[in-house]
Structure 1
Amino acid sequence: MPFKIERMKVEDIPEVAEIDRISFSTPWPPSAYRREIEHPDRNYYIVLRRVGEGPLKDKDMSRHGVLANILPFLKDEKLEPNPNPIIGYAGLWIIGEEAHVTTIAVLPQFRGKKLGELLLVSLIDYARKNGVHRMTLEARVSNHVAQTLYRKYTFKNAGYRRRYYSDNGEDALVMWSDRIDTDEFANKFESLKRELFEKLNGQLLLEDDSMEDASHRHVGEHIEHVDRESP
């Protein structure tokens, strides 16, 4: 099953917003993504596409699945079928020499295939190539799967944001990476990246230089998602 990572465009927002609604209890409105991608000098948002296998089935999307069963009026609203559908996305902000991972999400049926990790690696790659020294993010204190992945890439606990999540008042764990501009990190990161690409076994089709340092032209754990709140 081939995949492709591209920079998010305005025309991608309807599909991204649909995945957002499936993945998060407090989704961003489409206008938030539009504002984000209007500033490519300080934001980096990407989409992950499934390539060459046709559109997703209606039941794979929330308007025609779980949410449609709860809210029947949504059945009348339908996204146009996309032959290369978006199945995940991610983004970060760059503020000086720091980067803040704002969101990562993958459709539920594609989780467990290391695609969340692939998106995180793409963000780290971009940050390293754009002068970032350290990265930060928030995760729900209960999201141990995500925390395990972040620790794999040197993120460590740095504090808490109390009652950060408005849906249930859960605390956010604040995590910071080691410095990503050092030789030590570069060696570790390239090793992890090669390991990831080997496990993906040629499934990712690269069209830019975002990941070519791992010496793979075709490469292709999941996390449930990066927990975040709309800014």
Structure 2
Amino acid sequence: MESTFSFRMMKVDDLDQIMEIEHQSFTVPWSREAFYNELSKNQFAKYLIIEADNKIVGYCGVWIVVDEAHVTNIAILPEYRGMKLGEALMGRMIETAKEHGALMMTLEVRVSNTVAQSLYRKFGFQGGAIRKNYYSDNQEDALVMWVNL
């Protein structure tokens, strides 16, 4: 499946499609209200979407506070995974964070999610600390990763 894709900032009107991606991607998905609050009330939040085939196929969120960007979430629809869209999305989000003054980016990732860790390492992220029992669904540890931008 060959697709062209484009990026834009997420809007409240996108939430139906975002919730579909969220529920297909995470065992403990964020609520619609959480995304609504991020978009309408959180001055630090920036959410980017990637579109292909005339629909939203992924998104990534960061909080940018002073000079640090923290990735809150990133997801691609299952049928669009393996097409390097996550890599394209992460690259664009890093550029967006830099444009907003970020000098460093951090994130947490499940210790078992080696596919995501490999993606982050492509962008220079390094593993740091472990957050014990970070994930509420199974008490899995999170690997904290960071990169200087």
Question: Shared fold by TM > 0.5?
Answer: yes
* Counterpart-to-counterpart distance in 2, 1:132 and 1:116: 20
Q: CA RMSD in A?
A: 1.2
Identity of matched residues, %: 47
Is residue 2:12 matched to residue 1:7?
no
The secondary structure found in structure 2 opposite 1:49 is: strand
* Counterpart-to-counterpart distance in 2, 1:9 and 1:24: 21
Query: Compared with structure 1, are the counterparts of its residues 176 and 131 closer, same or farther at alpha carbon in structure 2 (3 Å cutoff)?
Result: same
Q: How far did residue 147 of structure 1 move?
A: 0.8
Question: Larger relative contact order (C-alpha < 8 A, sep ≥ 6)?
Answer: 1
Match for residue 34 of structure 2?
32
Where do 1:11-160 residues align within 5 Å? 11-39=13-41, 41-51=43-53, 84-160=54-130
Q: How far did residue 48 of structure 1 move?
A: 1.3
Q: How far did residue 41 of structure 1 move?
A: 4.2
Q: How far did residue 96 of structure 1 move?
A: 1.1
Match for residue 164 of structure 1?
134
* Counterpart-to-counterpart distance in 2, 1:121 and 1:2: 16
* Counterpart-to-counterpart distance in 2, 1:100 and 1:48: 19
Stretches of structure 2 that go unaligned for 5 or more consecutive residues are none
CA offsets, 1:59-116, max 9 Å, x none?
xxxxxxxxxxxxxxxxxxxxxxxxx211111110001110000111001111000000
- The TM-score, its normalising length taken from structure 1, stands at 0.62
- The TM-score, its normalising length taken from structure 2, stands at 0.94
Match for residue 191 of structure 1?
none
Q: How far did residue 130 of structure 1 move?
A: 1.4
* Counterpart-to-counterpart distance in 2, 1:91 and 1:150: 15
Higher strand share: 2
Large movers: runs of 4+ above 2 Å: none
Q: How far did residue 39 of structure 1 move?
A: 4.5
* Counterpart-to-counterpart distance in 1, 2:6 and 2:123: 22
Q: How many residues align?
A: 147
